[in-house]
């Protein structure tokens, strides 16, 4: 099954993006699953490399990288990156600077779209 996750919330402060990545990671472990994650708004910060969090706290970068390691894809809204002063070289390797046109293509590709 092809599943697209659209995340909108920041990596920390709420748990919506965290829970979206948790579910995406769980589905990525299932044979035949294809996962794509698109980051909009403050969720663009989920793909920032080098995140340091307090001991015992979840690290959203770890979850993003685990999706990529399992063959998933991560797109980041370029307008959202620009609005937050994020540069391509600051993002985790494998995450793609993207557009809403790309999101539209991914939406057509997907069997299911989940929004967090």
Looking at residue 67, what is its pLDDT? 96
Which structural domain, as residue segments, surrounds residue 34?
Answer: 2-115
Residue 66: in which H helix or E strand, if any? helix 60-69
pTM of this structure: 0.95
Report the pLDDT value the prediction gives residue 106, as an integer from 0 to 100: 98
E strand residue ranges, the chain: 2-7, 34-39, 73-77, 95-98, 112-115
Number of domains the chain contains: 1
Q: How far apart are the first and last CA of the chain?
A: 19
**DSSP per-residue codes, 89-115:** GGBPTTEEEE-HHHHHHHHHH-SEEEE
- The confidence score (pLDDT) of residue 13 equals 92
Neighbours of 107 (CB within 10 A): 14
Can you give the pLDDT of all 116 residues of the chain as single tens digits?
Answer: 999 999 999 999 999 999 999 999 999 999 999 999 999 999 999 999 999 999 989 999 999 999 999 999 999 999 999 999 999 999 999 999 999 999 999 999 999 999 99
Cβ pair 98, 76 in contact under 8 A: yes
Rg from Cα positions in the chain: 13
CATH number at residue 102: 3.40.1260.10
């Amino acid at each position: 099954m092809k599943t697209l996750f659209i995340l909108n919330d920041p990596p920390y402060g709420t748990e919506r993006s965290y829970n979206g990545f948790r579910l995406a990671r769980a589905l990525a472990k299932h044979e035949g699953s294809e996962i794509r994650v698109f980051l909009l708004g403050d969720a663009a910060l989920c793909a920032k490399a080098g995140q340091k969090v307090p001991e015992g706290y979840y690290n959203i970068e770890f979850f993003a990288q685990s999706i990529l390691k399992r063959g998933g894809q991560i797109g980041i809204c370029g307008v959202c990156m620009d609005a937050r002063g994020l540069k391509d070289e600051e993002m985790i390797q494998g995450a793609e600077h993207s557009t809403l046109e790309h999101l539209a293509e991914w939406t057509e590709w997907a069997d299911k779209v989940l929004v967090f």
